[in-house]
């Protein structure tokens, strides 16, 4: 008599079916065939010399993308949240002061992560669609004296591209590390990690890079490393402990690498290929293309009578556009109609922007004028067919 009491699930006796879809939400974005094919290469060992060579290529690509010469540059196994935790868990000890700039969901998340490890967390808050002046940031740095200041460069929940110039210098004036989230912006808007004195910068693989979700590039300045490697207590996470990750990625100068975790080798292939695509186009060309396509999209939206959520042009994120939710319509009905009728994903708001906006992401290979025309046609169609209240 069999001891197997749970029968084989019928759902797994059918072949896998995944639809093709236009991924024009805030991420993930479509993965082009070239990057999909790279990820289909044979699996080899995560401690094989060929993998270490691929990891070295990835490190060089991240240094180019971030515009940094930091030796402590690698990709965390996980999404952008993993990199956010890696940054916070390694730099902050219980009882230390952390300052988070909150103008959307990512500042909220960073504050919660720091709270969970026992930091004393303070925030400066701007309304959704807003950003901070350097004077406001300096005032908070002077008041709270944090060891770490968090800022989202590309706030994808509200569509804000936050200025970075001068903030790193202010942080260092107050002996504070500058942590920047560039998940929604890197490759689509200028970032100069070394020049702008950013101490920790991270991103995700699934936005402008057009790789599958699951790897998160991150880099640490020498100043950040000095703080991290002179802690009085171990980081709360073994998996994200930078001393172990530094060894696995060959960043610690030691002659041999010790097993820490099984790196996602096929995700490394995809990430390397996505960085190669960016290198071939060139950073400045990629920034310019995203800017031109975003401006073309914005003028198209305004000609339809729709309003952009971020009022100041210079503060609009070129990768993720936030549109004021059209008056009288249910935003969920619009996004559902567009998905069903046009096989195209756009999203509603997230966190503080829920109910206020529609979000459209045109990132990496998706950032084209042809795709803008497709989105505008889908929005026109939805506004024609979705219910509009007369109130």
**Sequence ranges of the binding site for substrate:** 359
Paired tokens of 58: 């990835």
Paired tokens of 239: 């998996």
Strands 154-155 and 160-161: antiparallel
* Binding residue ranges: 359
Torsion of the alpha carbons at 218, 224, 229 and 233, rounded to the nearest 10: -90
Q: Which of 184, 181, 137 is nearest to 347 (CA)?
A: 184
Q: Which of 93, 159, 66 is nearest to 347 (CA)?
A: 159
On whether the CB atoms of residues 363 and 325 are closer than 8 A, the answer is: no
Say if residue 28 is preceded by a cis peptide, omega within 30 of 0.
yes
Which CA distances in Å does 183 have to 66, 72, 186, 257? 12, 19, 6, 29
Q: CB neighbours of 341 closer than 8 A, spacing ≥ 6?
A: 378, 381, 382, 385
């Amino acid at each position: 008599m069999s001891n197997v009491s749970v029968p084989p699930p019928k759902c797994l006796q059918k072949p896998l079916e995944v639809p093709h879809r236009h991924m024009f939400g805030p991420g993930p974005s479509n993965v082009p065939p070239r990057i999909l094919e790279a990820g289909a290469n044979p699996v080899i060992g995560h401690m094989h010399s060929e993998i270490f060579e691929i990891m070295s290529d990835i490190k060089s690509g991240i240094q180019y993308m971030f515009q940094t010469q930091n030796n402590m540059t690698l990709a965390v196994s996980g999404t952008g949240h993993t990199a956010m935790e890696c940054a916070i868990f390694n730099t902050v000890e219980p009882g230390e002061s952390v300052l988070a700039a909150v103008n959307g969901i990512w500042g909220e998340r960073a504050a919660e992560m720091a709270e969970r490890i026992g930091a004393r967390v303070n925030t400066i808050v701007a309304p959704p669609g807003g950003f901070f002046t350097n004077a406001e940031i300096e005032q908070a740095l002077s008041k709270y004296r944090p060891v770490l200041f968090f800022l989202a460069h590309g706030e994808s929940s509200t569509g804000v591209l936050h200025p970075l110039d001068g903030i790193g210098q202010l942080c260092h004036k107050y002996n504070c590390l500058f942590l920047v989230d560039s998940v929604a912006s890197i490759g689509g808007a200028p970032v100069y990690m070394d020049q702008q004195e950013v101490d920790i910068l991270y991103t995700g693989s699934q936005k402008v890079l057009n790789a599958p979700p699951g790897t998160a590039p991150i880099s640490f300045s020498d100043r950040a490393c000095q703080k991290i490697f002179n802690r009085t207590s171990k980081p709360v996470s073994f998996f994200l402990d930078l001393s172990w990750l530094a060894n696995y990625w060959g960043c610690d100068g030691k002659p041999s690498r010790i097993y820490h975790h099984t790196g996602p080798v096929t995700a490394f292939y995809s990430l390397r290929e996505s960085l190669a695509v960016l290198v071939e186009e060139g950073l400045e060309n990629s920034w310019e293309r995203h800017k031109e396509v975003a401006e073309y999209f914005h003028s198209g939206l305004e000609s339809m009578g729709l309003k952009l959520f971020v009022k100041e042009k210079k503060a609009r994120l070129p990768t993720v556009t936030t549109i004021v939710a059209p008056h009288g319509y249910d935003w969920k009905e619009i996004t559902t109609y567009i998905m069903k009728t046009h096989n195209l994903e756009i999203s509603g708001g997230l966190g503080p922007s829920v109910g206020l906006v529609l979000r459209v992401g045109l990132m990496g290979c998706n950032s084209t004028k042809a795709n803008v025309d497709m989105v505008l046609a889908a929005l026109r169609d939805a506004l024609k067919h979705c219910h509009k209240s007369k109130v």
